[in-house]
Structure 1
Amino acid sequence: MHRSSEDTRNRALAILAGLGALALVGLLILRGILRDSGLNSHGALADAFLHGRLWIESCPEIDCALFQGRTYVIFPPLPALVALPFVALFGFPGFKGFVLLAMALGALSLWAWHRIFRALDVEDADALWLLAAIAFASPLFQVTLRSEGVWFYAQSVGFLMTTLSLWAVICRRSLPLAGLFVALAFLCRQMAIFYPLFLLVLAMPRRQDAQEGWHESWRDTARDLVRPVLLAGIPVIVGLIVYFAYNYARFGSPAETGYAFIHNPGSAGFIWRRITEVGLFSRDYLLFNTLYLFLQGVHFEFGGPYLTQLTGLDRSGSALLVMSPWLLLAFYARLDRAFAAGAVVIAIIAGITLFYHSNGADQTATQRYTLDWLPILIVLMLRGERPRAFAALPLLVTWGILANAAVTLLASLHRL
């Protein structure tokens, strides 16, 4: 009787989650068809590449650099290269499919996660819920929805590359292939450069000794990994060289990304004031970023004489654990060396961004910067046996999907 009751509740949750997911898919398609203007800075950069230039004729959005009389896109170049065939075919801004392109990239990410879940022995029912969670109850949905913008589109490409780096190790047992995807991820999002630590530990084999049980033979492990590590290092080093050369060709310094030359005339928002008056990194941002990462809920603003008119929405986002509560199950992750390595990488990436001037602002729900380390957390959550607490997965995912749907639909309808 108890099992039957649980199945009934899960079916009800599946219906609710499915309705929410359908609404979000519809919103994605409508936005891709009706709202994508094609004025994405990566589209402008792709057009520049096609004309043999590193600089663009004019900045279609904001956050471009003005250096020696020329305008540059400050962000890493790979997302522009991904869009290049489409820009070559339709022109710029003739190509108006960045949201639809991001949807295709997201579908590839979900395919890779499907393979990862199978390799980690995740049950089919749980795998379906997790795929729904990644698609509709994580920051991936928000960056896909907003991919007509340069920042969001870049993260959709970067998420695919970091996901594929994990797929290469978990499903293909190939560190060199993982190194290639890390290099590509780095050319989208610089924080991906920390991934090799986790991938290396994740790839380490385990050997069984009849007398001592499971233990590590470090000498044998080192010998087995020397060649794969060296091969994996080649694309990572090439990626670094390409990026440094790209910076040098634009700004005369390998370490200059262009942030020092950002030119946003007429900007008066808090982000612009932070950059110009405080700096890119400061401990002054720590409290704001920490509260928004862990505690800040959805904040709608009401106005009018009776405070009954919906007038605004906090565009700095809401806490990951509020909008994606299924990630709380990572609390039950298996504690071993892979967990330690993953936790270190997450702490480094998240720790750096806590001091950054932006937490991924201009977002209606989850914080998009968490996508830089979220793939690692998902893998840690699913390694090893899953405790009874995972019975709450359908409920937590359904909440995340419905919360994201409610916030996104309200923001769209009221144009908040």
Structure 2
Amino acid sequence: MDQRTLQPKKRPCVDATLLCMLALMAFGYLLLHDLLGGTLLSHSAWDSYTLQAMAWRRGSLSLGQNYPWLELAVYQGEYYVSFPPFPSVVLLPFTFLFGENTPNNLIIAIVTMATAALAYRCLRRAGMRETCAVLGALLLTWGSNLMWMSTNGGVWFMAQALNMFLLTWALHCAMCKRRVLAYALVAFAVGCRPFSALAFFPLFLFFYLQDRRPDEGFCKTALRQWKAFLIPLGVAAAYMWYNYARFGSVLEFGHNYLPEFTEAENGQFHLSYIFANLKNIFLRPIAFGEGLSLEYPVFDGFLFYVANPFFLLLFGQIVSDARHRQMDAMRYVLLAAMLLNLLLLCWHKTFGGWQFGARYTCDLLPLALAYLCLAKRQSLCRWERFAAWFGILLNVYGALAMNFLHG
């Protein structure tokens, strides 16, 4: 017998399935942007992050002038970006090549493709077959409201796309036991969407359970992670300094100084907003109008689990885990983080302006992916595959509708 036949087969260095998925997505973006007028390499003017990066290069914290089409904070006669700053850090290097005209449409498309690749890797590491992992990754990205957001590099969409990318990358790092990088990525995500700080709780528990020894108390085990805490503490200090330097408060990143909220009776956050927002995202549907035309609101959201069917997979997995008595501390903490994040989002005066679906709930999708990975499933069942294709079709339609019907 040939000795070579006795040697174990080596796994291919290149994942052809992953490359095919990314090629499909790249071709899809090329087609979509062609319909939008050849905008893939263009700069979206709804981009205050690039303007902030340009201001940094001038040595200024304020933008120096008003841009009426952007949501800018007005404080002591100066105009500031009213969103957390990390996306400007990402865009800063591009300003040296492109100036104010960064190719943010291309950047957000690449970020979304990277998110899909990481989601695929997470599902594969959790034991899922290649084809099902591809479908799950596409459902998370193209089958969610991220699909429409990823066609425009505007400020609101860039923040959410980067947040999803960073949290999904953090999940992959956690599964690979790269805890320092995982904690750092969550800290960067907080600089995109502040409520992502809730992801620290399941991340901490995940590594705590790995480190726990029978003869150790909670504090001693928790302190085994001290090296991983250093970067998040440094990043948090940088965020607080930046907030204080602009607005005199370590917790204020500018949204409270938007005219929309300074003129509101109850301000930006108030308990009275919660019920109305929950009602909208749980009960407000897509309806049929004359000639079977679709009717749906483009402000404050509609059924989030229809607009983002990955949540249907989450709900199904929760039911399965409860029925088979597989609920454990990790699952409970993930669900608690998602629920608290949702309530905090509903505490906000609006649940997203001009949008298709309920785009704020995309912030929860990486945690939902983490929950699904705990099941270590090999495949998706029939109804889950149907939900995935439904979500992809609906959100591709949404991307086109928001540009051609509501643009």
TM-score by length of 2: 0.82
Gapped runs of 5+ residues in structure 1? 1-17, 208-214, 264-271
How far is the alpha carbon of 1:318 from its aligned partner?
2.4
Shift of the 349–230 alpha-carbon distance from structure 1 to 2, 3 Å rule, reads same
Corresponding residue for 1:109? 115
In the alignment, residue 329 of structure 1 is paired with which amino acid? L
In the alignment, residue 280 of structure 2 is paired with which amino acid? Y
Gapped runs of 5+ residues in structure 2? 1-22, 322-326
How far is the alpha carbon of 1:261 from its aligned partner?
2.3
Corresponding residue for 1:77? 85
How many residue pairs were aligned?
Answer: 373
Match of 1:345 among 330, 337, 340: 337
Q: Would you say the 8 A contact 1:50–1:88 is kept in 2?
A: no
Corresponding residue for 1:258? 254
Shift of the 308–161 alpha-carbon distance from structure 1 to 2, 3 Å rule, reads same
3-state SS of paired residue (1:146): coil
Match of 1:141 among 125, 144, 147: 147
In the alignment, residue 323 of structure 1 is paired with which amino acid? A
| Pair 1:89 & 2:97 matched | yes
Matches within 5 A, 1:374-413: 374-386=365-377, 390-413=381-404
3-state SS of paired residue (1:276): coil
3-state SS of paired residue (2:192): coil
Shift of the 188–253 alpha-carbon distance from structure 1 to 2, 3 Å rule, reads same
Corresponding residue for 1:266? none
Match of 2:272 among 276, 284, 301: 284
Q: CA RMSD in A?
A: 3.0
Corresponding residue for 1:47? 54
3-state SS of paired residue (1:278): coil
Aligned-pair identity in percent equals 24
Matches within 5 A, 1:6-405: 26-28=31-33, 30-31=35-36, 32-33=39-40, 36-60=43-67, 61-92=69-100, 94-95=101-102, 97-147=103-153, 149-171=154-176, 173-205=177-209, 217=214, 219=216, 226-227=223-224, 229-263=225-259, 272=260, 276-299=264-287, 313-316=296-299, 317-330=301-314, 331-333=316-318, 334=321, 335-365=327-357, 367-386=358-377, 390-405=381-396
3-state SS of paired residue (1:169): helix
Q: Would you say the 8 A contact 2:273–2:348 is kept in 1?
A: yes
3-state SS of paired residue (1:277): coil
Shift of the 342–52 alpha-carbon distance from structure 1 to 2, 3 Å rule, reads same
How far is the alpha carbon of 1:284 from its aligned partner?
2.6
Corresponding residue for 1:210? none
3-state SS of paired residue (1:71): strand
How far is the alpha carbon of 1:133 from its aligned partner?
0.6
Q: Deviations over 1:317-354 (max 9, x none)?
A: 32221123343222324411110110111121111111
In the alignment, residue 72 of structure 1 is paired with which amino acid? Y
Say which structure is richer in strand.
1
For residues 164 and 180 of structure 1, what CA distance do their matches in structure 2 show?
10
